[in-house]
Structure 1
């Protein structure tokens, strides 16, 4: 389902974990990674996350995962 967006989204060419946890300490603690994974599951992104070869450590960018 597509929905119009009225703001710009910014995805940095970095790992999914980096983009999700931006603003927190880096490198992330295991607890931070677990929280990010749980959030993805709650948002219905679990299947997508499992399809990514490196999971949360998959490189992503403006055109999707790389």
Structure 2
């Protein structure tokens, strides 16, 4: 499993973002509410799930932003 410099997997990091008042926070809330989302989910896992659910482009942009922020977390 890929982790950031803090040793956090993407899913683990994302669920900690639920209190944010931005697109990443919205994404985190949606992921946390999805019974198939797991703390060990990768950005690609979530991308696949969003495609299956018919998500719109803004959601994928939020995921891209979240992935960049997760990878740069120190």
The structure with more radius of gyration: 1
Q: Give the structure with the higher percent helix.
A: 2
TM-score scaled by length of structure 2: 0.33
When you count strand as a share of all residues, which structure comes out higher? 1
